Chains A and B, each alone.
Chain A
Amino acid sequence: MQLHIDARVFVIITIIFLNGEAFGQNRPESFTFNFTRVQESVNALDTLSGIAFFFYGKLYLHVRHPINQIFFVDGNKIKIYYPENKTGYRIMSGTPFDLPIVNSLLASLEDDYGLAQIGFEIRSTSVLGDTLVTNWEHSTGSDAGTFDVFYRNDIIVKARFNAPSVSLETVLKNHKTYNGYVIPTTIKTRHSAIRDSVTETLYVDGLFINPYIPESILNFEFPDEAVIEERRL
């Protein structure tokens, strides 16, 4: 019991005082895994599967179902390639793109769910049974929404975001330890907006930390014969 209380105090102290400094310290630089993402809405069920490589902030996805697609995200640039008909897009934007599939996984590897990095500050903490709950608000005020992050045994098991027009609840479960990193292998997110709601479940399998990544993935380039459309946003 004493050990549990001490652990909670440690987590609180880490979150309050190390905020930004703690960001990224416990995240592996690269990993790969097979993914299956299932999305359910009122009248649709959609499954997406393939393999993901995350390395040094970049993301390479090889989607195998429902379409053969290579999706490479590098900051403000995306390369989308369709091997079957050798066509694709190079999209460049003024702001960074989000990282599909790995977003929640990356957030779960941060002590603070990555919130300090995007301007959130801790407002309060409470303990519910064996769960530590931290409440976060953006430094500009609650207009940007509030987060509740739930920790059990020092790992994040749930995150909840509430804003006037949208709410998200992400449940992280079936954690497994890979090379000392505790990683959730099932991430279920329920997204509710005014006009729609969707439940998305990400299943992670065959995860390797700091794997060998071939050059063709590290610096993905379109084949010479490919027909590529360039879009600058």
Chain B
Amino acid sequence: MRVIRSWGGVVENTPDGLPVVDRLASPDNVIIATMSSVGFGLSPAAGKAISEMVVHGRCLFADLSAIALGRFAETPSDWRERAGWIAAGSPIAEATAGGAR
């Protein structure tokens, strides 16, 4: 068995490891849909949710309030360090210091 090619990429996570699928209140023409490191199998459902958010303003087939972006409103910007994912002072911590939530 021989290996002839490989791929690598960045794994992105939300702080609680769950998706964000939401239509923002402001600006109200922005929809966010992201998984957290895994979720390929959820993409059909995510796609349907997105389409309903565009057409109806909200998802009709499920209550997605638990995966709204607003749940991170109070999450501190150094949450990666607090969760122990990265060490304080590490290159990533420096790069993301004061970064977006």
Real binding pair: no
B residues near A (Cβ < 8 Å) are none
